[in-house]
Chains A and B, each alone.
Chain A
């Protein structure tokens, strides 16, 4: 039943997006495609953090793996784009599995440190193996709309269709997974690892699985991103991107897939909007390129202090009955277990 409902919602959204893609001009179409491409990575991250209770500050690394895999497959194997998207997702999932095995032993800031270093280290591989990955120049990614759509069909609109279709499939799969036995197990592990393992759950395996799923989403998202930007370079996968994904997940509301959509939209659309705003109010270009950065920092701090459940949490509070459930990771049991917290403080 849930499956059917999710598919129905996705089909309805798909139809709306299809109509929208005809209404927008080509520049907006490109931005739209970029948002859709980023949604996958943010959704994967929001599931990893909000549902399974692990953290990753280096999710851009998995996007990089997906994009490079896709670029190489398109360049050398000339696969159909559909197969490429699936294959690069699988490659990223494998990388996520390796990271997950390491991650299952690490907690809190130690896991954060390891993922952070991964995001910093991975792009340097592209410089080291220039013959394969093209170094700073990167690899070009070019796809064309299928001939059946006619010769005049704009490329940007094809990008929108592909990104939206792939992302909707991802979201349906994630929504089902989160509501399945696995999703419930993840929540159990998130809230109390010891209780979960006493209940017979294999904590390490579940945590690794969460990394695999989340990395696969980032890989697909990286593929779409490479397709929309038509090039893959190491510069695209800086720490700024990884931090941007994390902040998008938080702003949207952790653990919420709809929140991931809001978060990705803000991540892509807010900086150019703020920069235009600053430029039109007479700031010099050096200043106005930094205004969005400073404003973004302020927004993050304010949202976290005032609205810790993010946009989706806020919407839920405004619209629905009181049910702010999914958006409070790590917390629930912590607060009710002061005795253990005290003991741990003692070991410091």
Chain B
């Protein structure tokens, strides 16, 4: 029982990070039909920015936190406007290769600017000692609680932005039909840039939140990105709710497999979960329709 609680809560705590990455992928996919393979690399880079700010300000975590979010927002906007925009309307593979190119470039750049041959450790916001109820260890810490709260708050704010503001209406309209939105006077280009910026911000949030548990080096977000991508695919790339649920489900499944069976099987379990879901729902759990893009 103790183990079960520990694995479940621990799984949810890591799953919420996959949810955040998945959410950032879904944001971009819905707006531009581009899958951003550079999302993990961008999050790694902004986390290095945060670490630099924290070190330069004598250990002020929150300044670093804000710097990462701002850097993520800016990076997303710059990349969309600079190199992704020209691939819109071209064959889908072009944008795949361009975002992979961005990923490779960012990882090389981080290696040149920040990396000195050793992984850096990144401070957590709160204590990482496991919480206990009575004598039962819960498998989560205050930092995990903060992580979950931050991601969920970001998701709720994003949902509110989409639902209740004019900007959100423009974002939804553009995702629904870009040509009609343009005819109705929406500046589609700016809206797409904003979508990438918001995704960059969510990705940066995920990077800052997860890195205390992983150490930081130019490739440190790769594994997390792959699992976030898997979560997004499981949930369905068109569904923000699917991204959150997909991340949590994946986190819990991987935690059970790692805990009860063997840590070596985690990646295989991820593959198995992905294949199982896609066998029955080829467009993910929360796919809106069964229509297939031909």
Size class of the contact patch on chain B: 35 or more
Contacts of A193 in B (CB 8 A): 294
CB contact between B274 and one of A107, A113, A250 (< 8 Å): that residue: A113
Main secondary structure of the interface of B (DSSP, over half): helix
Cβ of A348 and Cβ of B98 under 8 Å apart? no
Cβ of B80 < 8 Å from any Cβ of A? no
Cβ of B167 < 8 Å from any Cβ of A? no
* CA–CA, A297 and B98, complex, Å: 9
Contacts of B111 in A (CB 8 A): 286-287, 289-290, 293-294
Cβ of A305 and Cβ of B83 under 8 Å apart? yes
Contacts of A330 in B (CB 8 A): 91-93
Taking CB atoms and an 8 Å cut-off, the chain A residues in 291-348 that contact chain B are 291-301, 304-305, 308, 328-331, 334, 340, 342, 344-348
Number of residues from A at the complex interface, CB < 8 A: 60
Cβ of B87 and Cβ of A194 under 8 Å apart? no
Cβ of A297 and Cβ of B102 under 8 Å apart? yes
Cβ of A346 and Cβ of B98 under 8 Å apart? no
CB contact between B115 and one of A125, A243, A290, A292 (< 8 Å): that residue: A290
Binds B, one of A114-122, A170-178, A213-221, A262-270: A114-122
Cβ of B238 < 8 Å from any Cβ of A? yes
Contact of A110 with B279 at beta-carbon distance under 8 Å, contacts A290-B112, A334-B91 already known: no
CB contact between A113 and one of B107, B223, B233, B294 (< 8 Å): that residue: B233
Cβ of A124 < 8 Å from any Cβ of B? yes
* CA–CA, A348 and B102, complex, Å: 27
Taking CB atoms and an 8 Å cut-off, the chain B residues in 105-131 that contact chain A are 105-109, 111-112, 115-117
Cβ of B91 and Cβ of A293 under 8 Å apart? no
Contacts of B238 in A (CB 8 A): 348
Contacts of B270 in A (CB 8 A): 117, 120-121
Contacts of B264 in A (CB 8 A): 124, 127-128
Cβ of B35 and Cβ of A109 under 8 Å apart? yes
Cβ of A272 < 8 Å from any Cβ of B? no
B5 smallest CB distance to A (angstroms) = 27
A52 smallest CB distance to B (angstroms) = 13
Contact of A300 with B100 at beta-carbon distance under 8 Å, contacts A294-B111, A348-B175, A348-B176 already known: yes
* CA–CA, A118 and B29, complex, Å: 22
Nearest CB in chain B to that of A299: its residue: B101
Contacts of A85 in B (CB 8 A): none
Cβ of B179 < 8 Å from any Cβ of A? yes
* CA–CA, A49 and B94, complex, Å: 12
Cβ of A254 and Cβ of B282 under 8 Å apart? no
Binds A, one of B68-76, B150-158, B184-192, B285-293: B285-293
Cβ of B105 and Cβ of A304 under 8 Å apart? no
Cβ of A246 < 8 Å from any Cβ of B? yes
Contacts of A118 in B (CB 8 A): 271
Cβ of A345 and Cβ of B177 under 8 Å apart? yes
Cβ of A109 and Cβ of B100 under 8 Å apart? no
Cβ of A291 and Cβ of B278 under 8 Å apart? no
Contacts of A348 in B (CB 8 A): 30, 175-176, 238, 288
Contacts of B255 in A (CB 8 A): none
Cβ of B226 and Cβ of A116 under 8 Å apart? yes
Contacts of B135 in A (CB 8 A): none
Interface string of B191-204 (1 = CB under 8 A from A): 00000000000000
Contacts of B226 in A (CB 8 A): 116-117, 120, 239
Cβ of A125 and Cβ of B268 under 8 Å apart? yes
Cβ of A69 < 8 Å from any Cβ of B? no
Contact of A110 with B98 at beta-carbon distance under 8 Å, contacts A117-B274, A347-B289 already known: no
Cβ of A342 and Cβ of B97 under 8 Å apart? no
Contact of A298 with B112 at beta-carbon distance under 8 Å, contacts A110-B283, A118-B271, A334-B91 already known: no
Contacts of A120 in B (CB 8 A): 223, 226, 267, 270-271
* CA–CA, A342 and B176, complex, Å: 10
Contacts of B103 in A (CB 8 A): 297
Task: Please list 9 pairs of residues, one from A and one from B, whose beta carbons are closer than 8 Å in the complex, sorted by A's number.
Answer: A114-B233, A118-B271, A120-B223, A243-B104, A286-B116, A294-B112, A301-B101, A304-B94, A340-B294
What 7 A-B pairs have minimum CB-CB distances, sorted nearest first? A297-B105, A294-B108, A290-B111, A293-B108, A300-B101, A297-B104, A113-B233
Interface residues of A (CB under 8 A from B): 49, 55, 102, 105-110, 112-114, 116-118, 120-121, 124-125, 127-128, 192-194, 239, 243, 246-247, 250, 254, 286-287, 289-301, 304-305, 308, 328-331, 334, 340, 342, 344-348
Q: A304-B94, A304-B98 are in contact. List 8 more A-B contacts (CB 8 A).
A: A113-B232, A117-B230, A286-B116, A297-B108, A299-B101, A301-B101, A305-B87, A348-B30
